[in-house]
Structure 1
Amino acid sequence: MSTAMGMRLVHNLSHPTDLIIDLAAGPHLARAIIAARRRSHLHDLRKAGWGTEPATLIVTGWPAEETTTPVEFLKRCRNSLLPGGCVAVLLPHDAVAPVDVVIAAKQAGLAYLQHIVATDRPLRPGQRIELDIHTDVLILTRSARDEGGSDAA
């Protein structure tokens, strides 16, 4: 993920007082969070808890963890979100992966909101488009009407 993509996610999906959980690899999201003056927690995916304060935005790479199923991981994300909060899932381009993530998200009680295609390098006029130059970013959300805990799905 580029710093520009991190800035877009932070500015579009959070407010200045909101908490952001950074599960993404690399420093780009952290730089965007600092530049936007947001609050964040950088977490180790292997730890049992991500803190007690719910977040408005969680940004994670995919696949997220080898020790849990995609549905279990997304349930954990859902339970760490405020109602109306979002999970941004960063995927290297793969024609099937976005569908698998959306299915797992639905099973975890999250709804599909948006699919962003982020190019890794700028296209030049006349350049042929290559599918391996972008990252898919899926935005999943926890319903604003959802007041339940981990039992909702």
Structure 2
Amino acid sequence: MPGDPPVPITVWPVPAPQAGETMSNAMGVRLVHNLSHRCDLIIDLAVGPQLARAIIGTQRRAHLILADPGGRGPEPATLIVSGWPPHDDAAPEQFFTRCRTSLLPGGCVAVLLPHDDLSLPVDVVVAAKRAGLMYLQHVVAADRPPRRGVRTHLDIHTDVLILTRGTTQLGDGHG
């Protein structure tokens, strides 16, 4: 977005998800290891068992729903993982407002998008910012890692947008 500082872009060499699923097993493991600590609560809104396997294998705890708009729901999570669009048919800004309510300060939302619509990540980030989340990092998932000094075409299959609930309160109540 114009005027916003750039976010880091990272390449993760992980296999593409199977048709109809949000991620591969390797992606689930990377998300859990990179964005949570042992015993953290993770809200799993992904399609397929891959994230659940990673959660169990790393002794994290899982929940499958977000807090409702009144703030009632599971205890706040450190990480929320979702494909796009959300499966609850909520409007994007409404979905991110519920995510923000369900996160601990400093917690993250990882939104996984197929890498076939170049404008979709921008639309998702705009909706997240309107709900009070900050754009922290962009991960591109490719079938093979880039090699230093060799020009190769990356076969990107998934964009992962990492959004965060800040740890401080801003004047507008978002933080």
- Shorter-chain TM band: 0.7 to 0.9
Which of the residues 93, 97, 118 maps onto 1:75? Answer: 97
8 Å contact kept, 2:29–2:54 = yes
Task: Report the Cα distance in structure 2 between the residues aligned to 1:55 and 1:147, rounded to whole angstroms.
Answer: 21
SS of equivalent residue, structure 2 residue 109 = strand
1:52 aligned partner, one-letter code: P
More helix by proportion, 1 or 2?
1
SS of equivalent residue, structure 1 residue 8 = helix
Aligned to 1:129: 153
Range that drifts further, 47-56 or 6-15: 47-56
2:43 aligned partner, one-letter code: I
> Residues 77-116 of structure 1: matches in 2 within 5 Å?
77-93=99-115, 94-116=117-139
8 Å contact kept, 1:20–1:56 = yes
Aligned to 2:9: none
Give TM-score scaled by structure 2 length. 0.73
Aligned to 1:20: 42
Give the deviation of 1:4 after TM superposition: 1.1
Q: Unaligned regions of 5+ residues in structure 2, if any? A: 1-22
State, as a whole percentage, how many aligned pairs show the same letter.
63
8 Å contact kept, 2:92–2:127 = yes
Give the deviation of 1:51 after TM superposition: 2.6
The CA RMSD measured in Å over matched residues stands at: 2.9
Q: Deviations over 1:75-114 (max 9, x none)?
A: 0001000000000000011201110111011100000000
8 Å contact kept, 2:68–2:98 = no
Task: Report the Cα distance in structure 2 between the residues aligned to 1:124 and 1:52, rounded to whole angstroms.
Answer: 40
Which of the residues 42, 45, 58 maps onto 1:36? Answer: 58
Q: 1:77 to 1:124 in 2, by over 3 A?
A: closer
SS of equivalent residue, structure 2 residue 118 = coil
8 Å contact kept, 2:146–2:154 = no
Give the deviation of 1:65 after TM superposition: 3.9
Task: Report the Cα distance in structure 2 between the residues aligned to 1:5 and 1:90, rounded to whole angstroms.
Answer: 10
8 Å contact kept, 1:83–1:147 = no
Q: Unaligned regions of 5+ residues in structure 1, if any? A: none
